[in-house]
């Protein structure tokens, strides 16, 4: 499927023609670009997590349907409906269950501090308040609220090469039925490079590092993980694109343990993302 998309993109646009939108070209790392004020998009994002430590079967998929636009040249927004599907069997620390449900709502304003068109690099900041009713990892019912914050930077390093980096902080509060309020946070730093082969096609790779805690700060750490993997971006038509990423955890450390090949207690071994967007 990916090879077919690449073939179609190369046939449709063999030459380069100016700049292009960087938001989705780095995979799990987000670029700084936003829509023009007169542009609207419908995005469908599928994110999958597969395999945890302890044997058994583990698959968790989040489906997002997003309405995206911009109020000004420097202020974009996203309104998202979330769904979750979790299939866990024989995994240490998780209940055996299979669940597919509506899982929550979120809104994400994005502020462009420096635009790449007028500055040496792009710089943007976003915050995403999200209400959830399903724990995305375990699949258990839990009322939750998070406020993911992301600082983004990117730049065009010549005509074909693009670089992007993110800093991430996501505090979360969650309560399961009959249990006290739990809180935690995810810290992350990601970066990617993408080579633009043609107007409609870009291929690249990224590296991601994450640390999870059971506090809103750096206290009470529960583990770290490092991922690497390839990315792609294909524009199929002037108003339609497809982008994707696959990452494998190459190193991780549980809260009380040594550096290992991966941390399968707090993080999945593999994760993948596919984005399809239609502009109108």
Are the C-beta atoms of residues 184 and 210 closer than 8 Å to each other?
Answer: no
pLDDT in tens, 208-249: 999 999 999 988 888 999 999 999 999 999 899 999 999 999
16: pLDDT strictly greater than 60: no
Does this model's pTM top 0.85? My answer is yes
Distance of CA 175 to the CA centre of its chain: 24
14: pLDDT strictly greater than 80: no
pLDDT at res. 8: 44
Distance of CA 17 to the CA centre of its chain: 28
Kindly calculate the radius of gyration of the chain based on its CA atoms and give it in whole angstroms. 19
pLDDT in tens, 116-171: 989 999 999 999 999 999 988 888 899 999 999 999 999 999 889 999 999 999 99
- Strands 141-156 and 161-176, sheet pairing: antiparallel
Are the C-beta atoms of residues 208 and 150 closer than 8 Å to each other?
Answer: no
Which string of DSSP letters, residue by residue, matches the chain?
A: -HHHHHHHHHHH--S--S----TTTBTTBPPS----TT--EEEEEEEEEE--TTSSEEEEEEEEEEEEEEEETTEEEEEEEEEEEEEEES-TTS--EEEEEEEEEEEEEEEEEE-TTTSSSEEEEEEEEEEEEE-TTT--EEEEEEEEEEEEEEEE-SSSEEEEEEEEEEEEEEEETTS--EEEEEEEEEEEEEEEEETTEEEEEEEEEEEEESSSSSSSEEEEEEEEEEEEEEEEETTEEEEEEEEEEEEEEETTS--BS--TTTS-SEEEEEEEEEE-
Confidence of residue 261 (pLDDT cuts 50, 70, 90): low
* Terminal alpha carbon distance of the chain: 25
pLDDT in tens, 23-79: 999 999 999 999 999 899 999 999 999 987 666 788 999 999 999 999 999 999 999
Distance of CA 118 to the CA centre of its chain: 27
Q: Quote the mean pLDDT of the chain.
A: 89
């Amino acid at each position: 499927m990916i090879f077919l998309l690449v073939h179609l993109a190369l046939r449709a646009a063999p030459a380069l023609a100016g700049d292009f939108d960087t938001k989705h070209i780095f995979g799990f790392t987000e670029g700084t670009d936003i829509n023009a004020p007169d542009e609207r998009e419908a995005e469908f994002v599928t994110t999958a997590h597969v395999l945890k430590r302890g044997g058994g079967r583990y698959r968790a998929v989040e489906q997002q349907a997003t309405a995206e636009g911009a109020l000004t040249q420097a202020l974009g927004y996203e309104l998202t409906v979330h769904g979750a599907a979790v299939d866990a069997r024989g995994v240490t620390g998780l209940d055996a269950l299979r669940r597919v449900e509506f899982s929550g709502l979120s809104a994400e304003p994005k502020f462009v501090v420096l635009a790449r068109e007028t500055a040496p690099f792009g710089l943007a900041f976003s915050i995403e308040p999200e209400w959830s009713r399903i724990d995305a990892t375990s699949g258990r019912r839990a009322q939750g609220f998070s406020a993911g914050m992301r600082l983004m930077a990117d730049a065009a390093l010549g005509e074909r090469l693009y670089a992007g980096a993110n800093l991430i902080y996501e505090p979360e509060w969650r309560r399961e039925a009959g249990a006290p309020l739990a809180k935690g946070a995810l810290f992350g730093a990601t970066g990617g490079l993408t080579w633009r082969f043609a107007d409609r096609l870009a291929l690249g790779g990224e590296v991601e590092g994450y640390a999870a805690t059971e506090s809103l700060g750096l206290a009470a750490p529960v583990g770290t993980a490092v991922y690497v993997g390839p990315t792609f971006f294909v524009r199929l038509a002037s108003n339609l694109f497809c982008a994707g990423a696959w990452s494998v955890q190459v190193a991780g450390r549980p809260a009380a343990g040594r550096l290992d090949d991966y941390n399968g207690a707090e993080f999945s071994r593999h994760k993948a993302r596919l984005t399809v967007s239609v502009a109108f």
